[in-house]
Amino acid sequence: MTFKINSLPAAQPAAAAPPQVLRLLSYNIQAAIGTSSFHHYVTRSWRHVLPDWRGLQRLDRIAQVLAHYDLVSLQEVDGGSLRSGFVNQVAYLADLARFEYWFQQLNRNLGKLGQYSNGVLSRFVPYEIEDHKLPGLKGRGAIVAKYGNVENTLVLVNLHLALSEKARFRQLGYVRELIQHHEHVVVMGDMNCRSDQIIDTPLRDTHLLQVTGNHHTYPSWNPTRNIDHILVSPSLKINHVKVLDYDYSDHRPIAMEVQLPQPLADAMGAQGASANP
């Protein structure tokens, strides 16, 4: 587990203005490999192992996208191996996009050949971070970040689910147990299943809401599948949701703005926040 809080003050963070809205983003960045066609999975497969000098350029462009959001969930991030030029991509993006708080979850450690990770970037300091290994084959995980206080808590879950339906069912059953007693919840990530399939998983037994409409994120060059999702509790009013038109990965990012109930907003403001970009 890698947990970093950049520039965390020694004293209790100063109270910030209560956030009335939160700008959320989920993005599978494919380690900035830059697949932009199906044949690239073969012709550019070397990028999964060897560094590409344009990878940092793609990371810079991704950072420009992330900078407009408050809570960001990242999947398929490299924690610092040969293919990324030994750059911890979570830390790099946090620095460029001016996120003071970030967390890297290492799920598959192949040493110098790959540091397969999830990541969370945050403008608010969480009061608790949990690293969960999901059921099934090794390599799938969920990050649980809690904001506000124990009386008024926002629970953020960032996950990357398995490809098999059976494994996903088990993994979402595990997630259901994590969130079922919380009022304010955001679950987002690469779920590797369509929105109509989610209703046939254990998440159907939760209060989480899906947005209506087709928000296709994969493949980025011709999106036909909605497999990246942001699900929220009814207490978080959805102002809008949008798939962003960027092709720096084989997935497109999905963004949502939600309005917070006032007690939760006050709790998060009291906990402190970093400066806006």
Q: Is residue 277 part of a domain?
A: no
pLDDT digits (tens, 9 = 90+) for 16-65: 567 899 999 999 999 989 887 787 788 777 677 777 878 899 999 999 99
**Cα-Cα-Cα-Cα dihedral sign, residues 171, 173, 178, 180:** positive
Residue 72's DSSP bridge partners are: 25, 121
pLDDT band at 5 (very low <50, low <70, confident <90, very high): low
Tens of pLDDT, residues 206-224: 999 988 888 999 999 999 9
Q: For residues 168 and 84, which has the higher predicted lDDT (pLDDT)?
A: 168
Q: Is the pLDDT of residue 154 over 50?
A: yes
What tokens does 262 get?
Answer: 């006032």
Among 144, 157, 122, residue whose Cα is nearest residue 6: 122
Classify residue 220: in a domain, yes or no: yes
Residue 247 phi/psi, 5-degree rounding, is -125, 40
The reported pLDDT for the residue numbered 9 is 40
Residue 202 falls within a domain, yes or no?
yes
User: Which of 41, 60, 69, 42 lies closest to 220, judged by CA?
Assistant: 41
Number of structural domains, the chain?
Answer: 1
pLDDT score for 18: 75
Task: Say if 242 falls within a structural domain.
Answer: yes
Amino acid letter, 29? I
Q: In what order do the strands lie in the sheet with 228-232?
A: 128-133, 141-148, 153-160, 184-190, 228-232
Q: How many residues can be counted in the chain?
A: 277
Q: Is residue 91 part of a domain?
A: yes
| CATH number, domain with residue 148 | 3.60.10.10
| pLDDT digits 0-9 by tens, 248-273 | 999 999 999 999 999 999 999 987 66
Domain assignment present for 141: yes
Tokens of 196: 């109509």
Q: Which residues contact 176 (CB under 8 A, 6 or more apart)?
A: 202, 203, 205, 206
As a whole number of angstroms, the distance between CA 171 and CA 213 comes to 25
Q: What is each CA distance from 144 to 17, 148, 236, 246, in whole angstroms? A: 24, 14, 18, 27
Q: Which H/E stretch holds residue 53?
A: none
Strands (E), 164-211: 184-190
Domain contains 67: yes
Residue 74 has pLDDT above 90, yes or no: yes
Domain limits for position 134:
2-7+14-271
